[in-house]
Amino acid sequence: MTTNVINHVFELRTQKGVTQEELADAVGVTRQTIIAIEKGNYTPSVLLAINIAQFFESSVEKIFVVK
């Protein structure tokens, strides 16, 4: 069974008006990591998912959805 994780990082980031670089700096990763997350090519660690959720003042469950 394959588990897919859908995320809403791109939508939240553009709604908030921040660049990939700004988000990356805020959560302590590279811009390339943010690109990979937004494209669905990389599932972040639990710690990174929490940091992203805190940045957007949201919950991990609202940003990252298991399908």
Query: For residue range 9-24, what is the model confidence (pLDDT) as tens digits?
Result: 999 999 999 999 999 9
Distance CA 29, CA 24 (A): 5
Both structure tokens of 27: 């959560």
CA proximity to 57, closest of 4, 15, 25, 29:
15
Distance CA 48, CA 46 (A): 6
The list of the chain residues with pLDDT below 70 reads: 1
